[in-house]
């Protein structure tokens, strides 16, 4: 049986809880900030839930009906929240970055495992504790209004890091090496297929690469690809961020990765308006384990391998973001 457009709708949400989205490019410090915020009292944290991360990209690339995307997002986040409270999707592996042991004490976890079993229990818990759900949704900064419409009342934390450091991390990961682009990891990133005569084969080009830049992108070294990736996401986000900040000035915050390392308590103070809560023993433990060595290390950037046109675009963006770079270019 065929259904007409808009004939099918996903069920409406029933739980009322506060939501905060952490967004930004990969390797910008979102996970570190999420680990810190996830330790706060009555705060729940989920690191990059797949469907909530990929849905905005499907909508942005016109691969899904807008209303269906909003309904799915709202329903999925409610189901996710229900499972988070019941500890159904909890990582108990102690050595993982997303381990629950970094964020919650054994007494709280034991009480929830023993006392919370059903949706009614979750509703009672929400009424009593008034928890906040934090979602780390990488690369969703170009889709802020979709997030707002899907999750009314949600607040946005945009984590920003120096693009030169992001590029070094991308180069190390080899995410966009030509070898990887021949057979990309199935991680939810959208690609378009490009057949290259010059580079002899079929490549999966990330969706954010500008049309007609495919050959140019394949020619780049991995560090330059990291710069291009960082720059393109800021370009794609520019209008959304500007309009969102204007429309919802009290529901958008920018946090610098460098400040998280240098003074995490000041970052928590800056974000205090987003959370009516307090720090815990786990907060102090996570803060004490933050590695600040990279702030002391003078990193070397292979800018001599970056084409002039890309270098000029990156320098302009770094300057706009108030990152000192005149001595580097």
> Can you tell me which residue has the tokens 């499972």?
83
pLDDT at 130: 94
> What CA dihedral angle connects 269, 274, 277 and 280, to 10 degrees?
-60
Q: How far is CA 49 from CA 53, 137, 142, 229, in A?
A: 6, 7, 18, 22
pLDDT at 9: 56
pLDDT at 8: 52
Q: Are 231 and 323 in contact (CB under 8 A)?
A: no
> Where are the strands (E) in the chain, listed by range?
18-23, 43-47, 132-136, 155-160, 191-196, 201-206, 252-256
pLDDT at 4: 54
Domain coordinates in residue numbering, the chain: 18-320
Q: Are 156 and 244 in contact (CB under 8 A)?
A: yes
Mean pLDDT by 10 residues, the chain (329 residues): 52 79 96 95 94 95 95 95 95 91 94 96 95 96 97 97 97 95 78 93 96 97 98 97 96 97 94 88 93 80 96 96 86
196 SS3 class = strand
Residue 37 has, within 13 A of its CA and on its CB side, a CA count of: 32
Q: What is the CATH number of domain 18-320?
A: 3.40.50
Is the Cα dihedral 265, 271, 276, 280 positive or negative? negative
pLDDT at 56: 96
Q: Are 148 and 244 in contact (CB under 8 A)?
A: yes
Angle between helices 308-320 and 163-173 (to 10 degrees): 130
DSSP state of 220: S
DSSP state of 133: E
pLDDT at 64: 95
Among residues 8, 76, 229, 258, the alpha carbon closest in space to that of 138 is found at 229
DSSP state of 12: P
- Cβ-based burial of 7 (10 A; exposed 0-12, middle 13-18, buried ≥19): exposed
């Amino acid at each position: 049986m065929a259904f007409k457009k808009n004939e099918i709708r996903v069920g409406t949400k029933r739980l009322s809880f506060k939501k905060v989205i952490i967004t930004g490019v990969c390797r910008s410090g979102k996970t570190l900030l999420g680990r810190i915020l996830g330790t706060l009292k009555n705060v729940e944290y989920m690191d990059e839930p797949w469907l909530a991360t990929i849905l905005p990209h499907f909508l942005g690339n016109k691969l899904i009906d807008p209303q269906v995307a909003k309904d799915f997002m709202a329903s999925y986040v409610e189901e996710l929240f229900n499972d988070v409270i019941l500890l159904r999707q909890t990582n108990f592996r102690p050595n993982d970055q997303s381990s629950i042991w970094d964020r919650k004490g054994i007494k709280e976890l034991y009480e929830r495992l023993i006392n919370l079993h059903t949706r009614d229990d979750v509703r009672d818990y929400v009424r009593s504790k008034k928890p906040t759900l934090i979602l780390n949704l990488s690369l969703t900064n170009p889709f802020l209004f979709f997030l707002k419409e899907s999750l009314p009342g949600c607040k946005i934390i945009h984590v920003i890091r120096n693009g030169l450091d992001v590029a070094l991390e991308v180069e190390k990961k080899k995410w966009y090496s030509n070898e990887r682009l021949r057979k990309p990891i199935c991680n939810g990133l959208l690609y378009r297929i490009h057949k290259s005569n010059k580079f002899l084969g079929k490549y999966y080009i990330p969706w954010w690469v500008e049309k007609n830049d495919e050959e140019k992108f394949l020619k780049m070294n991995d560090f330059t690809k990291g710069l291009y990736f960082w720059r393109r996401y800021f370009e794609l986000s520019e209008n959304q961020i500007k309009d969102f900040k204007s429309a919802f000035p009290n529901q958008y915050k920018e946090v610098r990765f460098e400040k998280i390392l240098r003074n995490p308590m000041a970052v928590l103070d800056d974000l205090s308006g987003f959370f009516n809560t307090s720090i815990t023993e786990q907060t102090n433990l996570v803060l004490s384990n933050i590695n600040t060595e990279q702030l002391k290390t003078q990193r070397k950037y292979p800018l001599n391998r970056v084409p002039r046109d890309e270098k000029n675009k990156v320098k302009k963006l770094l300057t706009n973001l108030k990152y000192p770079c005149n001595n580097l270019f």
